[in-house]
Structure 1
Amino acid sequence: MSNELVIDVNPNEIVIALLSNKQLVELTREKSNLQFAVGDIYLGKVKKIMPGLNAAFVDVGYEKDAFLHYLDLGHQFRSLNKFLQQALARKGRNLSISKMRLEQDIDKNGKMSDVLKSGQYILVQVAKEPISTKGPRLCSEISIAGRNIVLIPFSDKVSISQKIKSTEEKNRLRQLLQSIKPKNYGVIVRTVAEGKRVAELDQELRSLVEKWEGSFQHIRDMQPPKLVLGEMDRTTAILRDILNSSFENIYVNDASAAKDIKNYIAGIAPEKSKIVKHVGGDMPIFDQLGVDKQIKSSFGKTVSFKNGAYLIIEHTEAFHVIDVNSGNRSKAGNDQETNALEVNLAAADEIARQLRLRDMGGIIVVDFIDMHAAENRQKLFERMKDVMGQDRTKHNILPLSKFGLMQITRQRVRPEMNIEIQETCPTCLGSGKISPAVLLTDQIEEKLKSVADSGEKKLTLKVHPFVAAYINKGFWKTLRREWQSKLGIKLTVKEIPSYDLLVYKIFDNNNQEIEL
């Protein structure tokens, strides 16, 4: 399996597409001013205690107060709170958890009012981003993720990823981390740490400890709500979590971003730094690499996947519903049960991709085509578990019910990715009527003349490929050459597949769009 990352850097957002064997499997949009991302650590202020919910609402700067449940405080909340109070009071110059005496664990069956009060300052971490009408979901069991390990302050446990199968390697990593970790720090060893040397793990551990303790240097001057320690940007976080030997290329359309990513990869996996490639050119990077076409075909209510079969995907506030349809697909010589199994197995592959691609969370109910044989239903269940095994998000899958329904739960930590592929026509503006297509070239010529009269002589015209083919039609006497001679300009015609048929834009010599 080969993986590729395509990163489209725009002034307002970064769009990240993950391709597996050239097929789009994940799409992430990160706003330039993104706040309240999963992993961000805030100094908040308790606004209200809710005894009935055994929870509190905390002001972290979002328009709606964030939610913190008692069970999300963490066993060592008292130690965290003590450390925070010392940092705010600045008792002692160098704050170090290793020198602290940890407080007693809170009662797991206790009440929120026993440990918090309104107006209190509190250190919290975003566990779920704001979704729909809800504010962020918080926790106070802080964790700081690195490439190979996750650091957990106020703990002493060393946990090893279950995906590391070798008992010998698990024991080696556990003993190694026990010997190098500072006192009062816990560690979770990630799968990629398998086979890593002590020097590399020790360096990362020290870096995470410095990052945590360094974030408290100026906390005394902060007034809540305030960001104390931000999670790294989504691009770097994705690279940190999934970069492995299967990655072959990382394409970026911004030279500065490409340099930053290359430097980051050189630090965590030097042998992979050469896979970062800057893609220039006037055409959008998603058009150049065929990602835009996959986006348009993968989102929407109806998704085709194989030989006429398709999915119907509906979203509600409570859960998502997916209906599997065979369409007009049939194979001569195959009975209904065999056809149903083949369609369902193919649908399982596409459903697993759609869950990752749209980042669908919560409860997902899938209505597969009915199958009567128990062994076929088991085959489908096993296939779904297998293809969902590549999904990094926590999930749980139940076998098919007697009604042919499969229930899936998938952790929901950020809003679902939803791209509306049906847009208001930019040519008719939703009226359903457009100017005669026969007049398009006359309109373009008129605009070119207007621009040429203003002094611009070297122009680029970007149009739909069909229109470009018409403008360049012929060997010598083309419409483009005619315009050049008539208007006294040098004209380059470029094809942009993502443009609508009658849309055109004119750019100057510096590739700046000229407002028409």
Structure 2
Amino acid sequence: MNKELIINSAPTGVEIALLEDKKLVELHQESHDASFTVGDLYLGKVKKLVPGMNAAFVDVGFEKDGFLHYTDLSPYVRSLLKFTAFSISDKSEGISDFSKFQTEAEIIKTGKIGEVLNGKPNILVQILKEPIAAKGPRLSCEISLPGRFVVLTPFNDIVAVSRKIHSSDERKRLQKIVESIRTKNFGVIVRTAAEGKNTAELHEDLNNLIAMWQQIQHNLKNAVAPAKILGETDKTTSILRDLLNADFNRIVVNDKNIYNDALNYIQKVAPDKADIVTFYQNGSPIFDNYGITKQVKASFGKTVNLASGAYLIIEHTEALHVIDVNSGYKSVSANQEENALQTNLEAAEEIARQLRLRDIGGIIVVDFIDMKLPDNKRKLAEAMEEFMRADRAKHAILPISKFGLMQITRQRMKPEVNINTQEVCPSCNGTGKVSSTLILEDEIEKNISYLVMQKHKELLIAVHPIMEAYLRKGFPSKRMKWSWKYKQKIKVKANTAYHLTEYHFFDNHEEEIKL
């Protein structure tokens, strides 16, 4: 599989498109004024304890307080609180050498929030989920610092290896290496990208993360909550850190600074792949040149068409997302069951792509075309698992229910990517309903009657040209009938700037009469 990263720098921010075999699968947007991104570290102030929810609300500087549940406190939260207090007061004698830091006892899984955060202390927290809708950010005290090959987790001595590394010999090798190079009080999670790497590469990555932890300690000195202590790396670098592998064959950037940053990062972590980074200088927009704009227009919206003629309907509610699969005019077989299976398999592949592309999280319910055979339902469920294997977000897929529905949960990390590919109709203002001519005619006459009662003389009605032709049509015309009925001189004038059902009244001084 060929992977390409196309990065478009615009005045409002940076757009990053991930292509797999020329097909758009992820679209990331980073605003220049973005804050509270996943991974950021903040010094927060506990504002309110809610025993009924076993949670706390923490002020991290956002308009809505962040939400911190007991399950996100981390077993080592007492050590974190001690470290935070020491760092703020600059008691460097207690933490100058973090390997000598005296950790506190772990908290129990079934404890109460008030037992841990009594006194409403300042606490170091990490953004777990970005603010969504009217909710503040979701917070965690399980601090983790991700690197290219390893993730650093302070206050413990646990070494874990990614389950995606299947070779038991390789897992043992990596475990042994990390055990030998890590220092006390630093737990380490070995990432999938570490497979096949040598001790020097892993040691360098680990040292960089330890230096980052020391920077956090320095930034905490004399800090006043709420305060940002350490920001996650920019979106481009974080995506490269998480996705870069042997399949990547091109990174194209249209901004010189981002190009230099990406090139420096690649030269640092994978010098042999530095030549895949190129600077785009063509005159046309970079997304247009690589066909991304066209794919965005075709992929976002309520209806998503598939190559065969089948299509998806994607609806969103506050609680969940619903996807309906329709066969359209697709027919691959005279057998209805086989036709349903093939359509469902094609739809499943596109649904997996849509979930990544729009970054849809939470509960997703998919209404596939009904199939009768259990074997076909099993094939569809297995195919969906395979299609979603490339998705980095945590997800779970349930078998198709007796109602023919598949339920999917997907980790919600940030607001859904929602690109509007339609404009509001100027005539109906998005309601999908336009007044008929007869109803509009009655509405205008009702207003004429009211204005005559208000002693207005010589009324002028400005309308759309089509409506003007309708009111002047025939003898006697509708305009003439109104003049005779209300014993009032009534004129009609066309205005091409009006939409079909728009009209306004003017007096004999050509001043608009506000109704």
TM-score of Structure 1 vs Structure 2, range by shorter chain: 0.7 to 0.9
Unpaired runs of at least 5, structure 2? 431-515
Deviations 1:194-227 (A, max 9, x none): 0100011011111101111222114223211111
Unpaired runs of at least 5, structure 1? 431-516
Deviations 1:450-469 (A, max 9, x none): xxxxxxxxxxxxxxxxxxxx
Deviations 1:267-310 (A, max 9, x none): 11111111111112332111111100000000000001121100
* Aligned residue in 2 for 1:147: 148
Give the deviation of 1:86 after TM superposition.
Answer: 1.0
Write the distance in 1 (CA, Å) between the matches of 2:366 and 2:119.
44
The 5 Å alignment of 1:129-208 reads 129-208=130-209
The 5 Å alignment of 1:81-100 reads 81-92=81-92, 95-100=96-101
Contact 2:76 2:105 (C-alpha < 8 Å) held by counterparts? yes
Instruction: Return the letter of the residue paired with 1:352.
Output: A
Give the deviation of 1:97 after TM superposition.
Answer: 2.3
Pair 237,218 (structure 1): closer, same or farther in 2 beyond 3 Å: closer
Contact 2:158 2:188 (C-alpha < 8 Å) held by counterparts? yes
Give the deviation of 1:259 after TM superposition.
Answer: 1.3
* Aligned residue in 2 for 1:313: 314
Q: How many equivalent residue pairs?
A: 427
Write the distance in 1 (CA, Å) between the matches of 2:381 and 2:317.
25
* Aligned residue in 2 for 1:17: 17
Deviations 1:29-57 (A, max 9, x none): 01111111111010010111111111110
Length-normalised TM-score, structure 2 = 0.81
| 2:49 counterpart SS class | strand
Give the deviation of 1:85 after TM superposition.
Answer: 1.1
| 1:306 counterpart SS class | coil
The 5 Å alignment of 1:53-132 reads 53-92=53-92, 95-117=96-118, 119-132=120-133
| 2:281 counterpart SS class | coil
Instruction: Return the letter of the residue paired with 1:298.
Output: S
Write the distance in 1 (CA, Å) between the matches of 2:314 and 2:27.
17
Length-normalised TM-score, structure 1 = 0.81
Q: Which shifted more, 46-55 or 275-284?
A: 275-284
Give the deviation of 1:424 after TM superposition.
Answer: 5.5
Instruction: Return the letter of the residue paired with 2:148.
Output: R
Write the distance in 1 (CA, Å) between the matches of 2:199 and 2:221.
36
Instruction: Return the letter of the residue paired with 2:262.
Output: I
Write the distance in 1 (CA, Å) between the matches of 2:119 and 2:359.
35
Instruction: Return the letter of the residue paired with 1:29.
Output: Q
* Aligned residue in 2 for 1:477: none
| 2:311 counterpart SS class | strand
* Aligned residue in 2 for 1:365: 365
Higher radius of gyration, 1 or 2: 2
Write the distance in 2 (CA, Å) between the matches of 1:121 and 1:339.
60
Write the distance in 1 (CA, Å) between the matches of 2:268 and 2:185.
27
Deviations 1:99-137 (A, max 9, x none): 112111012211111111354211000000001111000
Give the deviation of 1:92 after TM superposition.
Answer: 2.6
Instruction: Return the letter of the residue paired with 1:245.
Output: A
Instruction: Return the letter of the residue paired with 1:24.
Output: L
Write the distance in 2 (CA, Å) between the matches of 1:422 and 1:111.
49
| 1:217 counterpart SS class | helix
Instruction: Return the letter of the residue paired with 2:378.
Output: Q
The 5 Å alignment of 1:201-350 reads 201-331=202-332, 333-350=333-350
Write the distance in 2 (CA, Å) between the matches of 1:12 and 1:420.
17
Write the distance in 1 (CA, Å) between the matches of 2:97 and 2:315.
51
Contact 1:46 1:117 (C-alpha < 8 Å) held by counterparts? no
Instruction: Return the letter of the residue paired with 2:228.
Output: L
Write the distance in 1 (CA, Å) between the matches of 2:91 and 2:331.
75
Contact 1:38 1:413 (C-alpha < 8 Å) held by counterparts? yes
Deviations 1:448-502 (A, max 9, x none): xxxxxxxxxxxxxxxxxxxxxxxxxxxxxxxxxxxxxxxxxxxxxxxxxxxxxxx
| Identical columns (%) | 55
Write the distance in 1 (CA, Å) between the matches of 2:187 and 2:330.
55
Matched, 1:51 2:51: yes
Q: Which shifted more, 359-368 or 103-112?
A: 103-112
* Aligned residue in 1 for 2:382: 382
Contact 2:131 2:138 (C-alpha < 8 Å) held by counterparts? yes
Matched, 1:26 2:26: yes
Give the deviation of 1:425 after TM superposition.
Answer: 8.7
Deviations 1:314-356 (A, max 9, x none): 011100000000001113x521001000000000100000000
Give the deviation of 1:234 after TM superposition.
Answer: 1.1
User: Following superposition, which runs of at least 4 residues in structure 1 exceed 6 angstroms of deviation?
Assistant: none
Contact 2:90 2:222 (C-alpha < 8 Å) held by counterparts? no
Write the distance in 2 (CA, Å) between the matches of 1:10 and 1:182.
43
Write the distance in 1 (CA, Å) between the matches of 2:360 and 2:399.
20
Write the distance in 2 (CA, Å) between the matches of 1:396 and 1:379.
17
Give the deviation of 1:388 after TM superposition.
Answer: 0.5
Write the distance in 1 (CA, Å) between the matches of 2:101 and 2:120.
26
Write the distance in 2 (CA, Å) between the matches of 1:398 and 1:140.
31
Contact 2:219 2:229 (C-alpha < 8 Å) held by counterparts? no
Write the distance in 2 (CA, Å) between the matches of 1:404 and 1:76.
45
Instruction: Return the letter of the residue paired with 2:350.
Output: E
The 5 Å alignment of 1:422-461 reads 422-423=422-423
| 2:114 counterpart SS class | helix
Deviations 1:211-257 (A, max 9, x none): 11222114223211111111111111110000011111111111221
Contact 2:41 2:127 (C-alpha < 8 Å) held by counterparts? yes
Write the distance in 1 (CA, Å) between the matches of 2:309 and 2:11.
40
* Aligned residue in 2 for 1:38: 38
Aligned-residue RMSD, C-alpha:
1.5
